[in-house]
Homo-oligomer: A and B are copies of this chain.
Amino acid sequence: MRPHTVPPEVEFSSGPAVATKFEAFTRLSPEDRAALADVTQNVRYVEARRDLVAEGDKPRHVYLVLDGWGARYKSLPDGTRQILNFLLPGDFCGVSAYLLREMDHSIGAITKLKVATITPDEMQGLRQGRPRIAEALRWEELVSESIQREWTLNVGLRIAYQRLGHLLVEIYLRLQVVGRASDGRCDFPLTQNDLADATSLTSVHVNRTLQELRRDGLIELERRQLHILDLERLMHASMFNPNYLHFDHAGQHLDAGNHA
C-alpha cells in the first residue's frame, strides 16, 4: 500500500489507456497503436480543481485523457452544480465539438489531469488513415452517449442507495477496461461532495448512504481507495446492467482484412 502522501493521480501503469480500451471493441494493429501514440504527443496538464474548458468557450481542441480524473459539469444560476459524467484515462472529449459555436458545459479536473491536445485535422487524418480507429472512435462516442442516458435514468429512477452503488460499479468497470482497476480495487479520488454533485444528492446524504453500503459489507472506501467487496451483490443491489457500457468486442469482425 502506498503512503498517502503520494498524490492520487499516481499512475497505475499498463500502457496507454485508450489503446487498452479500444481493445474492448476491436483489435488494433501495431500501426494503429503507433498512429494513436502519434497524435498524443502534445501533452498538457491541468491542476486539480481547475477547468480544462469552460461553458461558453469556443471549442478548439480535441482532448484525450492520459491520466487523472476529470468531470463534465454544468452549473445553474442558483449555484447548484451537476456533474454529468466523469472523464477517466482513455476518454476522449470534444471529438466533433469544433462544429459548435460554444461549449454548453464545462470540463474540470478532479485530480491533476494529463491530457493530449489534438487538432481537428489530426483527428481527421487518424480517421482517414486508420479505419479501425475511426470505428473505435465512433464506438466510443456511442458508449459515451449511452452512459449519459444511463445517468439520466440513474438520477431519475434510483434511490440514493442504488444510485451511489450504480455509480461506484460504473466507475470500477470503466477503470477496469483501461487496466486501472482489478480485484475490486481502484483509486477513487472523488470527495463526497463530488459524489453528491454526480448523483444529485447532498453530501450529507451521500455520507449516510456510503455508511449504509459499508455496513452492508458491499464496499470499503477510505484514503481515496475504493474496494468493492462483492461486485455481484453490489450490481444486483443497484440494479446494474452492464449492457450499456458495450464492452463486448462488438467490432471484432473488423480484425480480419487489415494487415497494414
Contact = CB atoms under 8 A, between A and B. Distances in A.
Interface in A35-72: 55-56, 72
Nearest to A254: B99
A96 B148 contact: no
Contacts of A250: 99-101
Given A78-B239, A244-B104, A99 B139 contact: yes
A246 interface: yes
A14 interface: no
Interface in A134-168: 135, 138-139, 141-142, 144-146, 148-153, 155-158
Interface residues of A, number: 44
Interface string A230-257: 0000000001000110101011000000
Contact of A101 (B55, B104, B246): B246
Contacts of A78: 239
B152 A84 contact: yes
A84 B149 contact: yes
A155 B139 CA distance: 27
A142 B100 contact: yes
Interface of A: 55-56, 72, 74, 76-78, 80, 82, 84, 96-97, 99-102, 104-105, 135, 138-139, 141-142, 144-146, 148-153, 155-158, 200, 239, 243-244, 246, 248, 250-251
